[in-house]
Structure 1
Amino acid sequence: MARITKGILGGFSGKVGTIVGANWRGQDIIRSTPKPSSRPPSEKQLLQQNKFKLVISFLQPIKNIQNRYFGSGSGSKSRVNMATSYTLNEAVQVTADIPSLLYNKILITKGDLAGFQNPSAVPQSGQVLTLSWEDNSIQGNAKATDPANAVCYCEELGTFEIFEMLTDRSSMTANITLAPYYSGKEIHVWMYFNNLEESFACNSPYLGMFTVL
């Protein structure tokens, strides 16, 4: 289905008959429908497809966060597209033609808000993780009231746990409790601050991988 965006003589996106409308680098374009290729994909194409599938599969559960807090959202790219592009280019490694994620390079959020100062995480019994950081609410555009959030990912289970508005920047500590089935599992942990208006956030630091007690 095509979508008219600027009137009948303007740009559209989608397929109409044998033509396809799209927006490329801010310009509305039309092109003929590509013909299916009978050639099998090359090794390079297969690798790129596998990298893309890996990144999309990982980011899908957190797209609502990135739709709000990844980059400025200006220009022709959406925030989710920017997050995908960043992860593909900066947080994927290939070993023996098998792509894998570099968790310490992944950004859950990306923005201009002042970030964390010396954040850390310590596992406690009962599937509890104690998070701590230093109060830097007088630095730059930071405010004491900025909400602190945490994102946990278990590679073994392929699941995310998201903890929003745990506390504020000035509290300097917060506890999160995971479900009992995470006991003994390894999780990757990120944190991020956003402003109270929920219009932008900081770059999310990677705190590390921890075994849930």
Structure 2
Amino acid sequence: MGHLTGGPYYDLIGRTGNNVGRRRKGKNVFSMRPAKSNKPPSALQLAQRNRFGLVTSWLSRIGDLIDAGFLVHPEEESDMNAAVSYHLKNAVTGVSPNFTMDYPKVMFSRGKVGEAYRAEVNITVAARLDYVWLAGTPTKYNKPTDMATVMVYCPALDKFVTLQNAAARSALLFNLLLPGNFSGEEVHAYIGFTSADGKVAGSSVYVGEFLVL
């Protein structure tokens, strides 16, 4: 059941009959309820649903990174929708119904801030990834005060480890501690930078796949 947030001519939120109202990016959106189809879905439709379900469920678990990182998109599009659109087009691999994320193409942020220059991960201690990078040439969008965000995903455990504002670009390194059960597992590592005030993000980079000690 829908409800009016003000008087009879104000916002309609929810569904009333065939009318659907919602707020999107600060605007009132009003539409008709879509008709149900009695036709069974085609193989292509099922594949599209599988791809969409994979991407949305995967990205929803790193929503805080997406909200802070996918800031460059049309005004009417949300941060998450922009991320979903990118990953559907670029970061899904496999054959239906066995789709998986194409990990080297995954991005948790996109934008103008300089990428992590020559980023690497060294592994010398159990359950820890040691990120290192170079400062690069200082520019308007490459400042020593830019802050790093790191993300690690373990497919076998289906678990993420993420940390925003992990270290300043000028630090040139950051040691990320992982849960003990990550030891002996393969993980995918990523890093990206945002401006110190968090208003401008940069494109995250895939550092590689690593075996955790």
Partner Cα separation in structure 2 for residue 6 and residue 115 of structure 1: 46
* CA positional deviation for 1:170: 1.1
The reply on whether 1:160 has 2:160 as its aligned counterpart is yes
Match of 1:131 in 2: 131
Unaligned 5+ runs, structure 1: none
SS in 2 for 1:156: coil
Higher strand share: 1
Match of 1:14 in 2: 14
CA contact (8 A) 2:184 2:212 kept: yes
CA RMSD of aligned residues (A): 2.6
The reply on whether 1:150 has 2:150 as its aligned counterpart is yes
Deviation larger for 119-128 or 43-52: 119-128
Change (3 A) 1:94 1:3: farther
* CA positional deviation for 1:132: 0.8
* CA positional deviation for 1:158: 0.9
Match of 2:60 in 1: 60
Change (3 A) 1:4 1:194: farther
* CA positional deviation for 1:122: 1.5
SS in 1 for 2:94: strand
Match of 2:174 in 1: 174
Equivalenced residues, count: 213
Q: In the TM superposition, what are the counterparts of 1:32-181 in structure 2 within 5 Å?
A: 32-72=32-72, 74-95=74-95, 97-136=97-136, 138-181=138-181
SS in 1 for 2:123: strand
What is the one-letter code of the residue matched to 2:210?
F
CA contact (8 A) 1:190 1:207 kept: yes
Identity of aligned residues (%): 29
The reply on whether 1:209 has 2:212 as its aligned counterpart is no
CA contact (8 A) 2:186 2:211 kept: yes
Partner Cα separation in structure 2 for residue 3 and residue 101 of structure 1: 39
Give TM-score scaled by structure 1 length.
0.88
Unaligned 5+ runs, structure 2: none
Give TM-score scaled by structure 2 length.
0.88
Deviation larger for 35-44 or 75-84: 35-44
